[in-house]
Each structure stands twice: as C-alpha cells, then as structure tokens.
Amino acid sequence: MDIGSTALYTDFSDLNELKYNKSIDEKTRLKAVAKQFEGIFLQMMLKSMRDANMGDDLFDNDQSKMYQDLFDKQISLELAGKNGFGLADMMVKQMDKTQIESANSDKGITDYQRSPVTVIKDVVDNEMANVNAMQVRRSSIGNSSESLTIKTTENSDVDTKKISTEKTQANEWGTPEGFIKSMVPYARSIAGKLGLNPAFIVAQAALETGWGAHIIKTATGASSNNLFGIKAGSSWQGNTVQSKTLEFSDGIMRQEKATFRSYSSVDDAFRDYARFLTDNDRYSNVVNSGYDVEQFTSNLSKAGYATDPVYADKIKMIVQSDRMKSLMKSAY
C-alpha cells in the first residue's frame, strides 16, 4: 500500500486494508496510522483558523460552510499524505520506541495501533453523512402532477405536540445511532409497499439531512420534517418552506432558492416519499429494487432524483458501511 497516496477522505479502503491485510508489515502500518492522525490534526488546525475569522462572508450560509469544511478535510489529508508537517514522523518515532520496549509483551504495538485505526474510521463514519448532507437538491423533483396532498391543522394543540416531538428529535437525531433507531420503524412501514430494503430508505434520509442534524427549517425555526428533500411542485397543496439549495448543471454547482414540502410529522414525510416514488412513472425501476443496493441507487440516479452526479455513490457508501450494517441490525 502506498501510504503517500491521497484518496478522498471519505474513502475507507485504505483503513480497511490496514486492518485486514496481513501482508502489510507493522512499520508500514504504523506510518499509515500516523499520517491519518496528522491529517486529523491539520483538520482541527484549519477549523480553528476558520473560526478565528471575525466576519462572515456576504454569501456565507450553512451549505457553503459545509462545503468549506469538506474542502478543508480533503486539503488536510493531501497535506498529511505528502510531506506533512513532521507530526507523523514524530509519532512514528515515539510509537516505534514503544514497540521495541513492548517486544516481550503479549499486546505489543499491534493492539496499540489497531485502536487508532478504529478511532479514525469512526471519525470518518460520523462525519460522512454530515458532510454529504449539503442539500444538493433536485432540479426537477416534486413537479409531478401525482403527489400526496397532506393538509396540516394549525392550532395550539398540534403546535404543542409538534414542539414536544421536535424536542425528542433533537435528542435522537444528529448521530447515526439515534437517527437510525428513530427512522427504522417508519422505513419498515413503507418498505413493503416500495419493495425496498428499509436500510436504503434510512440511508437516503441520512444523506439528505446529515443524520437529521441539517433538516430544513421553517421560518419559525421548526422542523419541516422533509427527510428526503422533496420539492413542492405546482400540484402540492400542503405546507411549504423555502430554503437555499445547491444544484448541479452541466457539472457546475450553483446556489439557488427553492420551495420544499413541509410535513406535520415524520410519518407524513415517509408516506409522501412512498407515494412520490410509486406515483411517478420515472421511478418505476426504483421501486421493487429489493435488496440490490446497486440497482436502487443506479435507477434513482438515472430517474433524476438528484442533480448531484455522485448522489448514488453516497447512498451506497452509507448502506455498505460497517457502522450502518451494525446499527440497522441492532435497531430491529
């Protein structure tokens, strides 16, 4: 393995190779882990420098800041992967010394290294959906004449219930564990109708909202419960919310303002998502994809669900991650 090469910081293949490839010697493994930690240190340094900026740019918003964060993480990985700042070399020297001193120990350096590898992968797993949930929305989604109309009743009882629900969401959402636990019952309730693995549905919601941490808010700051980024076309008769969004056109990303559907509950959002897929002919190949993640993501992309050119890859990455598999299993 070439420890000097740089991949996307969301690519776990090198970490998996470090963990499972028995042919990689301990010295090489140690250097690779040190490089990863130097990258994390550089990320923290860049973040501190950004935070020290006294003024916000005219065009600053949550989406642009998230893209800036994505850029900083990738840059830090590239810097660490090349010459670095010397931190990795210092770590290698220190840990190599520990290895010599622990040569007669049963644990030795192997277990000591394996822990940081796991830590790094967990950091990447936790950040993955947050970085990807940049609201890269659809250019044409929600324009179908066949859509589910969901009316909401605006009275004090409903508002009080909604506030209570949102407090519960705030406690559960924002982390993979809490989000998956909360989403699985809803995903299972529509999975049969859609002919889909519930994990695919949860993964898409995770991507769209960053595990629920970046869900679109209404003008009052309340949750729109729009978990799938569905826009409000002319046929939509329910509540709406406006939000800035990032669209890709001819490979170029542009910021736009769009109108999205707003729901009174998470259950309404899931039912509308199910109706949206089944009532639109262009998603006929998406429905009944079963447990074939390749078929689901590929057909979703071909149908034009999102303008993001790597939207399908992102969903697939979440579905196939070890953490997602483990959490889905424990959520049942």
186, 272 Cβ separation under 8 angstroms: no
> What does the alpha-carbon distance between residue 179 and residue 173 come to, in Å, rounded to a whole number?
5
Residue identified by tokens 């420890």 is 3
Is 38 assigned a catalytic role?
A: no
- Cβ contacts of 303 within 8 Å, gap of 6 or more: 282, 283, 285, 286
263, 272 Cβ separation under 8 angstroms: yes
> What does the alpha-carbon distance between residue 308 and residue 263 come to, in Å, rounded to a whole number?
24
| 3 state SS of 20 | helix
CA 227 vs. chain centroid, Å, equals 12
> What does the alpha-carbon distance between residue 289 and residue 297 come to, in Å, rounded to a whole number?
9
> What does the alpha-carbon distance between residue 226 and residue 107 come to, in Å, rounded to a whole number?
49
* Number of neighbouring beta carbons within 10 Å of residue 106: 6
Give the tokens for residue 90: 């210092």
DSSP letters spanning 250-287: TTEEEEEEEEEE--SSHHHHHHHHHHHHHH-GGGTTTT
Give the tokens for residue 222: 């309340």
Is 208 assigned a catalytic role?
A: no
Catalytic residue among 272, 279, 281, 313: 272
Catalytic residue among 69, 72, 247, 308: 247
Give the tokens for residue 63: 């989406």
- Cβ contacts of 213 within 8 Å, gap of 6 or more: 130, 133, 173, 174
Report the catalytic residues: 247, 272
